[in-house]
């Protein structure tokens, strides 16, 4: 995908979940996800790096494997932040969790670490640029690790929504 790095790294997906949904993951665990805006934090350390992982998430043909794959059946990716591998996945999730008014979806996406969650509910509809600004206030070094901010074309047709740049 043009503009996305083919190197290994970390990412944050900005998601819209249009309706309340119950997500059942491969282990059988269920998560009740309310309609709203979310950020999901992950790593792309395999072949093709960040570009391959983001292409996978934006595609419609994927076999569910990770927790996020199951949620993407009911959600739309509306923004992606890609970070160098020096940005630790859990540090990024922790920064988001420490942001005022953000809420964790406990146990989601963090079965291989000690984090509370890698899926976080965001108050309002913040843009990728707004999220970077918010995170940079919490960690001044974060901006230097940002490789690219990307906004894909919408996959669902719906009226434009207001974006709230404040967290």
Average pLDDT over residues 87-95: 93
In terms of pLDDT, which residue wins out, 112 or 80?
80
1 found inside a domain: no
Is it the case that residue 159 has pLDDT exceeding 60?
A: no
164 found inside a domain: no
What are 110-135's pLDDT values in tens digits? 888 888 999 999 988 888 888 888 88
Residue with tokens 């670490």: 113
CA dist 106 → 35, 46, 115, 143, 164 (Å): 16, 26, 9, 27, 25
Is it the case that residue 161 has pLDDT exceeding 50?
A: no
Tally of domains in the chain: 1
CA dist 18 → 28, 35, 68, 123, 142 (Å): 23, 5, 16, 14, 30
54 found inside a domain: yes
55 found inside a domain: yes
155 found inside a domain: no
- Percent of the chain whose pLDDT exceeds 70: 89
The domain of 58 spans: 9-150
């Amino acid at each position: 995908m043009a503009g996305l790095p083919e190197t290994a790294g970390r990412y944050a997906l900005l998601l819209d979940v249009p309706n309340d949904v119950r997500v059942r993951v491969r282990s059988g665990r269920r998560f009740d996800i309310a309609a709203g805006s979310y950020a999901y934090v992950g790593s792309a350390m395999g072949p093709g790096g960040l570009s391959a992982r983001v292409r996978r998430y934006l595609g419609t043909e994927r076999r569910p494997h990770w927790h996020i794959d199951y949620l993407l059946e009911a959600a739309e990716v509306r923004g992606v932040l890609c970070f160098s591998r020096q940005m630790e996945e859990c540090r990024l999730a922790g920064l988001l969790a420490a942001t005022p008014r953000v809420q964790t979806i406990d146990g989601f996406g963090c079965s291989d670490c000690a984090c509370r969650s890698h899926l976080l509910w965001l108050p309002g509809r913040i843009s990728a640029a707004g999220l970077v600004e918010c995170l940079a206030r919490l960690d001044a070094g974060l901006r230097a690790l940002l490789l690219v901010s990307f906004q894909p074309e919408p996959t669902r047709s719906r009226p434009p929504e207001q974006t709230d740049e404040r967290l």
